Structure 1
Amino acid sequence: MPKLIIDNLPVEVAPGTTVLEAARSIGITIPHFCYHPALALASACRLCAVKMLDGPVKGIQMSCSLPAQDGMVVSTTDPEALKMRALVIEWLMMNHPHDCPVCDEGGECLLQDFTIAGGHSRRRYQGDKRTHRNQYLGEHVYHEMNRCIQCYRCVRFYQDYAGGTDFGVTGSAGRVYFGRFEDGPLESPFSGNLVDICPTGVFTDKTGRYRARYWDYQFSPSICQHCSVGCNLAPQAFQREVIKIVGRRNDQVNSWFICDRARFDKKGINDPSRPREPKVDGEATDYETALDALAARIYDFLEVHGPESLAFVGSSRLSLEGCLMLGELAANFEAAALSFYGDPAEAKGSQFATELLTEQNVAAPADLASADCIVLLSVDLMNEGPMLAPFIRKASLTGTKVYRVDAPALPSEQRLPFDCLDAATLAEVPLETASRAIVVCHAARTPHEELAPLAAKGVRLAVLQPGPNGFAAGLAARKHGAVPFAEVLAAKKVRGIVAFESDLSAANLKGVTVLGCADWRTSELAQKAGVFLPTTTWMESTGTSINFEGRAQRFERTFRPGLPLRGLDAKYYAQSRYGEPAPGQPEVPPPQPPRIPRGEIPGGQEIEAWKAMARLLEKLGGEPIVEPLTGSWRPLREMDPEAGGERIFGLFKSSEPDTL
C-alpha cells in the first residue's frame, strides 16, 4: 500500500487512491470543483493544485487525478500551489454574476467557500462579462447558466452516470454551454440530482425557490418511503413544511443520488388538507377521547360478533415498529385476523422473499455494478426500483449483458438507461456461464418455484417488495400468521376492521364496519371510519425501515408535526390592532403573531402509528409497551442512522423471527 507524506503528516492508502482522497482521509481539504467521488475523473477545473516536493513526481500537479505513490511528499500550502489556486478562482470569478444574495445556493455553495478560502475579495478584471440565456428545464430544476464554472459535473452525471440523452454540453472555450438543444422538461428520472451535483447555483430546486437559506432548515437522516430500495436522503424543513429533499450517501444502497420521485414528491406531506385532528363520528376531539371511544367500540363489537369477526389491517407503509406493534395488537385477541396486504399475490410474495433470502443469496443495489449477468424478471424497474438502474448501467458499460424476461405491461413511460436483450423465458438466459449473476424481480409477480432453484445454483436475488417496508411486513406476517385481506373477505367472517395506515379501498368493504382508522393520508377508510386517529408521516417520525435486501436502516424525525406556518388559519393567531380603522370601515383587526407562547403546536396532535397502537392496546387491557424493538430486535435500537444500516439475517438464529 502506498505510503506518502501530506503537509508533514504520514498516510498509508489503498492502491489507486488519489492524492486528493488521501488528503481527505486525514482531514485535509484540498479545494476542488470538478472532482466527485461518484463520477469519473475530468481534471477540468484546475483548482486542486498541490506542490510535489519529493518522490516520483515533482512540481505543481492536479491532486484529483494523481494516484498516490510511495515516497511522495506533498504540500497543499506551498506558495506556488496557493498562487495557482488563487489565479484559478480569479479567472472563474471574472464572468460570475456575483449574485449570492439572490442565489438559492447561498450558504451551501462550494464556489463561495473556496473563493473566500482562497483570499479572493476584489475584482481586477474591468471588461464586459460573458452572459448566457437561461433555459426552461421543467417545473423542478431552475437554470442559471451565468453562474457556471465549467466543471462538467452536470453532464458527466447526466449522460455518463444516469444515461440521459437530452442534456449535454455545446460550444467551446469561453462559450461552453450546458443545457438542452431547446427548452423543455428534462427527461431523465434522475435529473433532480443536478441540483446536488452542481458546485455552484447553476441548477437549483425550483420547488423550494426563495423559501429559506441552508442554515434555516431542520434536517435529519431519513429513508425514502416511495419504494423498497430504501435510499438514504435528508428532508429539509422550514416552519413545519418540507421545502427540499436532498440525497444522502450510502455506498451500498443509493450511492450519492436519489430519483426525482424521492426528491420532488412531497405534496402529500405538505398538503394543508391533511387530516390532523382525531375524530369520533366526524366530530373533532382530543386523542385520549378518540382512543377511549375506539376501545369502547371494539369491546362492544366483540360482545356482539366475537373476536373472529374482527380484523386488524396495516400495510407496508408502516415502519418496522408499526408492523411489530400491529402484530401484538392482533395477538391480544386470539381469533382476530391480521393483514398487511389486500392482494394475495403481494402478501404471499412478500413472506416468501423473507423466507428465501439469506446473507449469501441476497444482492444489494451496489452488487449490481459488479455483476457479470443481470436478469430483469417480471419487473418494471423504473417504477418499482429506479435507483437500481444506475448500478445496472455501470455494469452494462463494462460489458455485462442485461436480459429482460417477461416484462410486465405496466404504465411506465421511462426508458431503461442501458441496453437490454429480450428473452421469452428464464431458460434462455445463460446463467450457468456466469459467476456473479443477479436476478432482479418483484415479489408479487415472480413464480416462487423459479426463485428457489436459482438461489440453490448460486444466483443472487434482488427481490423488490410491494411497498417501502414490505420486508418488515413480511417478517411480522410470518411471526403472527397474517393472511391477505382478500382471503379474509372471501371467508365472510370479518364484519369489522381497525386499520393503521392501510391502503385498502373502502369500495370493497361492503357489509364491513370500519371501527377505527389511523393514517396521515386522506383515504376512503378514514372517511368511513367511526373513529379517526391522525398519525405522523415518516419525516415526522423516528423508526426503522427494512429494504428489499433485508437491510435495516434507522430514520430520525426531521421536524415536529403540525400545520405549516405559511398559510396558518387566523384563528391560531392572537388578535391585535395597530392604529384605528378608517372612517366607515368595520373594526376587523389583522392577524398578528401570538402574544403568549402556545404550549401546543397548531394541528400537532398526530403521533406515530406504533404509539397509537400501543396506547390502544393498553386501553384494551394489554401490557404497556414503550419500546417495540425488544428481544432479537433490540440491537436495531442502537443503530447509527448515519452508518448505512445492517442486514437483519444475523438477528435470528433460526429461520423464524425470534420472540419480539
Structure 2
Amino acid sequence: MPKLIIDHIPVEVPAGTSVLEAAKSVGIWIPHFCYHPALGSVGACRLCAVKLLDGPVKGIQMSCMLPAQDGMVVSTTDPEALKMRSLVIEWLMTNHPHDCPVCDEGGECLLQDYTVAGGHGIRRFEGKKRTHVNQDLGPYIEHEMNRCIQCYRCVRFYQEFAGGSDFGVMGSARRVYYGRFEEGKLESPFSGNLVDICPTGVFTDKTARFRARYWDYEMAPSVCPHCSLGCNTVPAARYRELLKTIARENPAVNGPFLCDRGRFTNAPVNDPARPRVPLVDGKEVPWDAALDALMLRIAELAEVYGPGSLAVVGSLRLPLEGNLLLARLAELLGAGHLCYFADREEGERVAAAVSLLDGGKAASMADVRKADCVVILESDLRDEGPMMLLAVRQAWRSGAPVFLVGKHAPLEQARAVSIEAIELSIIEEVPLAIFARPVVICGTRNNAPAAIGLLARAEAGIACLLPGPNAAGAALLAQEHGAVTLEGAIASGNVKGIITVEADIPAALLDGVPFVVAADWLPTEAVRRAEIVLPTTAWVETDGTFVNFEGRAQRFRKAMAPGLPIRGLPARYHASPDKPSPFHPPRLHRSIPPGGNLRSAARIVADLIERCSGEAVADPFEGRWEPLRDLDPEGEGVRLGPG
C-alpha cells in the first residue's frame, strides 16, 4: 500500500487510490467539481490542483487524476496550488450569471462555496457573457444552462452510469451545451439524480422551484416507502409540505442515487384530502371519544356475533413498530384473526421469499452491483424496484451477462438502461454454475410461491422484490404469530368486524363486513367505508422502521410536522371574519396546526392496548426484536432472518 505525506500528515492508502481520495481519507478536502465517487475522475474542471513537493512526481498536478505513490509529499496549501485554483474559479465565473439570489441551488452550491473559499470576490472580466437557450426537460427538472461550468457530471451519470440515450453534450469550447436534441421530458427513470449530481444550479427540482432555501428545510434521515428496496433518502419539507426528496448515500443499499418515483412522489403526503380528524359515523370527534367509541363497539360486536368475530389487520407499508404492537392488541381484544396480508396468494408469495433470507443467500443491491451474472426472473424492475435496475446496469458495465427469464421479464426494462440482455424461457437454461458471484432477482408479483421456494436450490444469491416497504417485516411477524391472511379469515365465515391499520384492502373483501375501523393516512377504500376513522401520520411525519427485501431493518426519523400545508388550507383557515384574505395563514394562535391532530399508527395501537390492559406500552421492541431498539438511522441497517 502506497505511503505518502499530505500537508505534513502521513497517509497509507490502497493501491490505485487517487491523491484526492487519499486526502479525503484523513479529513483534508480538496476542491473539485468533475470528480464524483460513483463516476470516477476525468480531470475536466482543473480545480483540484495540488503541489507535489517531493517524490516520483513533482509540480502542480490534478489530484483526482494522480494515483497515490510511495514517497509523494503533497501540499494542498502551497501558494502555487492556491493561485491555480483561484484562477480556475475566476475563468469559470467569467460567464456565470449574477443570479445566486434567485437560484434554487443557493446554500448547497459547490461553485458558491468554492468561490467564497478561494477568495474570489471581484470580477475583472468586462466582456459580454456567453448565453444559452434553456430547454423544457419535463415536469421534474428545471434547466438553466447559463450556470454550467462544463464539469461533465450530468452526462457521465445519465449516459454512462444510468444508460440514458436522450440527453448528452453537444458543441465545443465555449459553445458546449448539455441537453437534448429537442425539448421534451427526460426518458430515464433516474433523471432526477441530475439535481443532486450537478454542482451548480443547471439542473434543479422543478417541483420545489422558488419554494425554499436549503437552510429553510426541515430534514431528517429517512427510507423510501415506494417499493421494497429500502433506498435511503432525506425528505425536505417546509410549512408542513413535503417539497422534495434528496438521495442519501448508503453503500449497502442505493449508493448515492435514487429513482424518480422515490424522488418525486410527494403528492399523497401533501394531499388536503388526507384523513385529518377522527371520525365516528362520519362526524368529527375528539381522539378520546373516537377511541372510547371503538372500544364500546368492539364489545358490542363480541356480544352480537360472539368471540373471535374480529380481525385485526396490519400492512406491508405500516412501520415495524405498529405491526409489532398489533399482535399484542389482537390478543388483548380476543380477536379471532391477526392478519398482516389481505390477499392470500400475496401472503404466500412473500412468505416463500422471506424463507430464503436464511442461510446467507439473500443478495443486497451492493451484491447485485458486484455480481458476475444477473438473472431477472419474471420481473419488470422498472415497476417492482427501479433502483435494482440501476444496480443491474453497473454489473453489466463490469462485464456480467444479464438474462431475462420468463414472459413477465420484458426486454424493454433492459433497453431503458441500455443493457444488452439475453432472453430465456426457463431459469434452468442459465449456466449459473460457471459464475463465481451470480445473483437471481425474482419478482414476487408474477411468480408462484412454489417457484420462489425452488430458488433455495439455486447456486446463486437471491434478491426477491416484495410488494411493500415493510413486506418482509410483516411476513416475519406473520410467521412468528401464526397469522392468517384477511382473505382466508373472511373465507372462514365468522369475520364481522375489521380493524385495519394502514392496510390496502380490496373492496370485495370489505363487502358484507358490518363493522370496519380504519387507521390510515391515505384515503383508501377502507377509510371510505369505515364507521370509525383514525387519521395517522405519514412516514415523513413520524419515527419508524422498515425491513426491506433483503431483511435489512432501517430506522427513519420524523422530518416534518403533520398538518395541512399552507397552500392546502381550506378557506375557513385563511380568512379572519372581518377581512378575508385567501392567501394568508391562520390568524388564530393554536398549539396544533390545522389538520395536524394526527397520531402515528404505533401510538394509536399503543393507546388501544393501554385501554385494554391498563398499562402503558414502554417499547414495542422485545424478544428477538430487541436489537433494533437503538438502531442508528444514519447507519447501514441491521440484517434480519426468518428465525
**TM-score, normalising length from structure 1?**
0.94
Aligned length: 641
Q: What residue in structure 2 maps to residue 521 of structure 1?
A: 522
Name stretches of at least 5 consecutive residues in structure 2 with no aligned partner: none
Offset at 1:274? Answer: 1.1
Maintained 8 Å contact 2:487/2:509: no
> 1:187 is paired with a residue of what secondary structure?
coil
Contact 1:47/1:89 (8 A) holds in 2: yes
User: Partners of 2:452 and 2:592 in 1: how far apart?
Assistant: 52
Three-state SS of the structure 2 residue aligned to 1:5 is strand
In structure 1, the residue matched to 2:140 is: 140
TM-aligned CA deviation for residue 421 of structure 1: 0.6
Name the SS of the counterpart of 2:74 in structure 1: strand
Mapping for residues 327-476 of structure 1, pairs under 5 Å: 327-334=327-334, 336-358=336-358, 360-408=360-408, 415-417=415-417, 418-476=419-477
Aligned partner of 1:533 in structure 2 is 534
Measure, in 1, the Cα distance between the counterparts of 2:159 and 2:536. 41
Instruction: Indicate conservation of the 8 Å contact 1:280/1:290, yes or no.
Output: yes
**Which stretch shows the higher mean deviation, 390-399 or 552-561?**
390-399
- Residue by residue over 1:142-198, the C-alpha shift from the partner in whole angstroms, topping out at 9 and shown as x without a partner, is 000010000000000000010100000010111100000000000000000000000
Counterpart check, 1:606 vs 2:598: yes
The residue matched to 2:376 in structure 1 has which SS?
strand
> For the Cα contact (< 8 Å) 1:320–1:546, is it kept in 2?
yes
1:409 deviation in Å? Answer: 7.6
2:636 match: 644
Does 484-493 or 550-559 show the bigger shift? Answer: 484-493
| Greater Cα shift, 371-380 or 143-152 | 371-380
3-state SS in 2 of match to 1:332: helix
Give the gaps of 5 or more residues in structure 1: 577-586, 650-654
Letter paired with 2:529: K
Which residue number in structure 2 is paired with residue 254 of structure 1? 254
1:157 maps onto 2:149 in alignment: no
Q: Distance in 1 between matches of 2:521 and 2:168?
A: 41
CA contact (8 A) 2:563 2:593 kept: yes
Tell me what 1:290 maps to: 290
Query: What is the identity, as a one-letter code, of the residue corresponding to 1:608?
Result: S
Q: Name the SS for the 2:60 alignment partner.
A: strand
Query: Do the aligned partners of 1:389 and 1:416 also contact (CA within 8 Å) in 2?
Result: no
Whole-Å separation in 1 of the counterparts to 2:111 and 2:356: 50
1:626 and 2:621 equivalent? Answer: no
| SS of match in other structure, 2:567 | coil
1:300-340 CA-to-partner distances (Å, cap 9, x unmatched) read 10111123221111220101111111222222345511222
| Higher mean C-alpha deviation, range 121-130 or range 411-420 | 411-420
Deviation at 1:626, TM superposition (A): 3.0
Mapped contact 2:237–2:244 kept (Cα < 8 A) = yes
State the distance in 1 between where 2:350 and 2:114 align: 49
Query: Closer, same or farther in 2 for the Cα pair 1:622/1:14, shift >3 Å?
Result: farther
Counterpart amino acid of 1:441? C
Change (3 A) 1:339 1:545: same
State whether residues 312 and 335 of structure 2, in contact with CA within 8 Å, keep that contact through their aligned partners in structure 1. Answer: no
- Cα distance in 1 for partners of 2:450, 2:511 equals 35
User: CA 1:335–1:540 in 2, change beyond 3 Å: closer, same or farther?
Assistant: closer
CA drift at 1:575: 3.6
Q: Mean alpha-carbon deviation: is it higher for 78-87 or for 328-337?
A: 328-337
Q: Which amino acid aligns with 2:569?
A: L
1:568 equivalent in structure 2 = 569
Aligned equivalents of 2:615 and 2:406: distance in 1? 49
Find 1:635's aligned residue among 627, 630, 636: 627
8 Å CA contact 1:348–1:444 kept in 2: the answer is: no
- SS of the equivalent of 1:307 reads coil
Match of 1:584 in 2: none
Q: Which residue matches 2:177?
A: 177
Residue 652 (structure 1) aligns with? none
Question: 2:49: which partner in 1?
Answer: 49
Residue identity matched to 1:627: D
2:39 alignment counterpart: 39
Aligned-partner residue type, residue 220 of structure 2: S
Matched to 1:484, the amino acid is: T
Counterpart contact for 2:154–2:194, Cα < 8 Å:
yes
Amino acid at match of 2:315: S
Q: C-alpha distance in 1, partners of 2:589/2:218?
A: 21
C-alpha distance in 2 between matches for 1:67 and 1:408: 46
> Equivalents in 2 of 1:37, 1:177: separation in Å?
24
User: Structure 2 length as normaliser, TM-score?
Assistant: 0.96
**CA-CA distance at 1:451 after TM superposition:** 4.5
Contact 2:564–2:596, Cα closer than 8 Å, also in 1: yes
The question of whether the paired residues in 2 share the 8 Å contact of 1:514 and 1:525 is answered with: no
Contact 1:369 1:391 in 2 (8 A): yes
In structure 1, what is the Cα distance between the partners aligned to 2:572 and 2:180? 48
Q: Residue by residue, what CA displacement relative to the aligned partner does 1:196-224 show, whole Å, maximum 9, x if unpaired? A: 00000000000000001000000000000
Equivalent-residue separation in structure 2 for 1:133 and 1:359 (angstroms): 57
Amino acid at match of 2:500: A
The percent identity for this pair of structures is 56
